[in-house]
Structure 1
Amino acid sequence: MPEALHGPEIIPVGRSVRVTVPASSGNVGPGYDCLGLALGRYDRLTVTRVESGLGFDLSGEGSEEVPRSADHLVIRAMRTAWRAVGLHELPGLHVVAENRIPHSRGMGSSASAIVAGVTAANALLPRELQLTENAVLQICSQMEGHPDNVAPSLLGGLVISYAAEEGCRSVPVSVHRDVRPVVAVPDYEVPTRLARGLIPESVPHRDAAANAGRAALLVHAATAEPGELFAGTADLLHQQYRAGAMAPSAGLLARLRGRGLPAIISGAGPTVLVLAESPERAALAAEEIRAFEGEAASSFEGRTVTWAVEELTVDSEGVIVESVGSGELS
């Protein structure tokens, strides 16, 4: 498209959209960079086109640390989406964000911000200029660097992503109704860049082959036979290499799996996620996490780690976009 095909006037002053985006767990045990799960904890974003300027009303997780400028990840995502259709000048915007997804904990906060920004920007455009679902997926994946978090936030459910000639492809599958995700979110952070840097460039062939089998089993277990979730969540590609950077999480993971619970590190950590096979097993997981919290093994860098424990749902819808104001052409 030509460099300045469209100007800000294509979005009427007063037009407003609200998007609700689920959290996500990437990697999902053996599904390194290819499996993601949408979780029932949500960020909500409302964007309104105003005459001029850039205003923010931010609350919740990380709201005091993120920039209130065009460097905010949501605004960067919006600009990326608009540039794809030839809109290069940032319109006047007012952004209201209510964040419930913890930052730097392995629950897809950056992916959710990207999905929120791209989908909000797309919804503000005239219908004839709006991006396709596939184009939205490609933009979000390119910004995040991989699709395993953005795809479940977009599509809901358990999502299988893979590389294709035209970019990435993502296929959502429905999770069995008995599966109960339980998260243990610690009060310390592990930057994703640090966690990714700990993964070796190569692994033994036998580990790769074993992991492929477990990943295939995990899809079957999560969708049809939850009793196989413990075997299906075994991983040899990433969790063991990151353990030193998140010792309390590694310790909790070992304890839970030692009790036969299908626990994994969520994304790049340090949150621990249990894909419990039933409500009773979810309650047991929560009890074990709280017991671990009270033990000396849960200390980290000279202090006791505390854990926020919550049973969540699997989100089955993905991002929800609502028009809350139509505006008028100025």
Structure 2
Amino acid sequence: MTSRVPAGRTVVVEVPATTANLGPGFDTLGLALSVYDQLTVTASDEPGVRVEVHGVGEGEVPVDERNLVARAILRVFEEVGEEAPGLDLVARNVIPHGRGLGSSGAAVVSGIVAAKGLLDGIVDLDGDRLLAIATAMEGHPDNVAPALFGGLTIAWTGVDGPQHKRLLPHRSVSPLVLVPEQTMSTALARSLQPTSVPHADAIFNVSRSTLLIAALIQSPELLSTATEDRLHQSYRASAMPETDRMIGLLRAAGHAAVVSGAGPSILVLASDPSQRLAAAGLVTSSAAQRWTALLPAVDIKGATLDLQQAPARAHS
């Protein structure tokens, strides 16, 4: 069976970094950040998958069909029952790997959105279908939802599969991400979670996650209280002691500091740009290791797709 995607069709995708949990919103809340991986994919008559990687992951990640981005593209073609063409991928990566900034979710979303572009005029894929495929690959929707749709997202799984609600944070919310040199395995972080938590802790997190929505979209002055957590961060602290120590110092100084995703990066949700500069300065003066400070905006676009060559073959 020959692919219906015309050779030479080229798509360019940009996908933002994401930070999940935001303190109390474990596996539910996510925020897109203005740090982007870019992917260019060209359909080819030559069978197989060829991948070039520039930037983060260069020389480390697979450059054939085992590559996570390529696997995501091929997964979409399999899901819709279409034959995939040969694929030439060029990935320009900026999102740090293994630091709690959604790099694997961004890779999955990059591939899925690229597949949507390659299938333009052949198969229609809406946002819900993309989210379902991305969640099936990633395992949970808290990173892939903001990567796809941008902004602040609440994600959950219902009878119709993964769902999301996109919100726009208050304009004064100013993220700061502090990235250490060491990495953290998401699988390891999840293995440190207990199978059950005290009833009081569950209620505590319900109240704080509800308050966090209000703080992010309406009342940023409540961010410090709203980012308190008893559900996951303390259980993971032993695996990233310097992250835990820095969060303690930041919170003692009044900053809304939390573990970004599975860590070990730190997210500070400041209520104005000067506050995040103060937080970065505190870490620089107190840390026992080097941290890289990123000062992104909240991304409100999510994944973007540019279909550079879009002539679809006539259906036979």
Structure 1 residue 54, shift from structure 2 partner:
2.2
Q: Which residue of 1 aligns with 2:44?
A: 50
- Among 224, 227, 234, the alignment partner of 1:230 is 224
- Among 63, 76, 81, the alignment partner of 2:71 is 76
Q: Kindly tell me: are residues 57 and 275 of structure 1, through their superposed partners in 2, closer, same or farther at Cα, counting changes over 3 Å?
A: same
d(CA) in 1 for partners of 2:17, 2:2: 31
Secondary structure of 1:308's counterpart equals: strand
Secondary structure of 1:118's counterpart equals: helix
Is the CA contact (8 Å cut-off) linking 1:82 and 1:122 kept in structure 2?
A: no
Q: Which residue of 2 aligns with 1:97?
A: 91
Q: Which residue of 2 aligns with 1:268?
A: 262
- Among 8, 13, 18, the alignment partner of 1:14 is 8
Please list, as runs of the form range in 1=range in 2, the aligned pairs for 1:210-229 lying within 5 A after superposition.
210-229=204-223
Structure 1 residue 126, shift from structure 2 partner:
3.6
Q: Which residue of 1 aligns with 2:133?
A: 139
Is the CA contact (8 Å cut-off) linking 1:13 and 1:327 kept in structure 2?
A: no
d(CA) in 2 for partners of 1:315, 1:110: 18
Deviation per CA, 1:205-261, whole angstroms, max 9, x where unpaired?
000001000000000000011000001100110000000001111111111001010
Is the CA contact (8 Å cut-off) linking 2:3 and 2:84 kept in structure 1?
A: no
Is the CA contact (8 Å cut-off) linking 1:184 and 1:272 kept in structure 2?
A: yes
Q: Which residue of 2 aligns with 1:251?
A: 245
- TM-score normalized with structure 1 length: 0.92
d(CA) in 2 for partners of 1:281, 1:222: 15
Secondary structure of 1:127's counterpart equals: coil
Q: Which residue of 2 aligns with 1:326?
A: 310
d(CA) in 2 for partners of 1:191, 1:272: 15
Deviation per CA, 1:1-29, whole angstroms, max 9, x where unpaired?
xxxxxx44310000000000000011111
Asked if 1:127 is matched to 2:118, the reply is no
Q: Which runs of 5+ in 1 are unaligned?
A: 1-6, 299-304
d(CA) in 1 for partners of 2:121, 2:285: 53
- Among 305, 308, 313, the alignment partner of 2:297 is 313
Between 98-107 and 317-326, the greater mean CA deviation after superposition:
317-326
What amino acid is aligned across from residue 146 of structure 1 in structure 2?
Answer: H
Secondary structure of 2:308's counterpart equals: strand
Q: Which residue of 2 aligns with 1:67?
A: 62
d(CA) in 2 for partners of 1:273, 1:244: 18
Structure 1 residue 127, shift from structure 2 partner:
2.3
Deviation per CA, 1:5-57, whole angstroms, max 9, x where unpaired?
xx443100000000000000111110000000001100000000012132222
Is the CA contact (8 Å cut-off) linking 1:14 and 1:328 kept in structure 2?
A: no
d(CA) in 2 for partners of 1:146, 1:269: 16
Secondary structure of 1:97's counterpart equals: strand
What amino acid is aligned across from residue 319 of structure 1 in structure 2?
Answer: A
Structure 1 residue 176, shift from structure 2 partner:
0.6
Deviation per CA, 1:95-129, whole angstroms, max 9, x where unpaired?
01000000000000000000000010111114241
What amino acid is aligned across from residue 96 of structure 2 in structure 1?
Answer: P
Asked if 1:169 is matched to 2:149, the reply is no
- What is the aligned-residue RMSD (CA, Å)? 1.3
- TM-score normalized with structure 2 length: 0.96
Deviation per CA, 1:246-289, whole angstroms, max 9, x where unpaired?
11111111110010100000000000010011011111111111
d(CA) in 2 for partners of 1:128, 1:92: 17
Deviation per CA, 1:146-184, whole angstroms, max 9, x where unpaired?
000000000111100112101111001001110110011
Secondary structure of 1:84's counterpart equals: helix
Is the CA contact (8 Å cut-off) linking 1:12 and 1:49 kept in structure 2?
A: yes
d(CA) in 2 for partners of 1:240, 1:112: 27
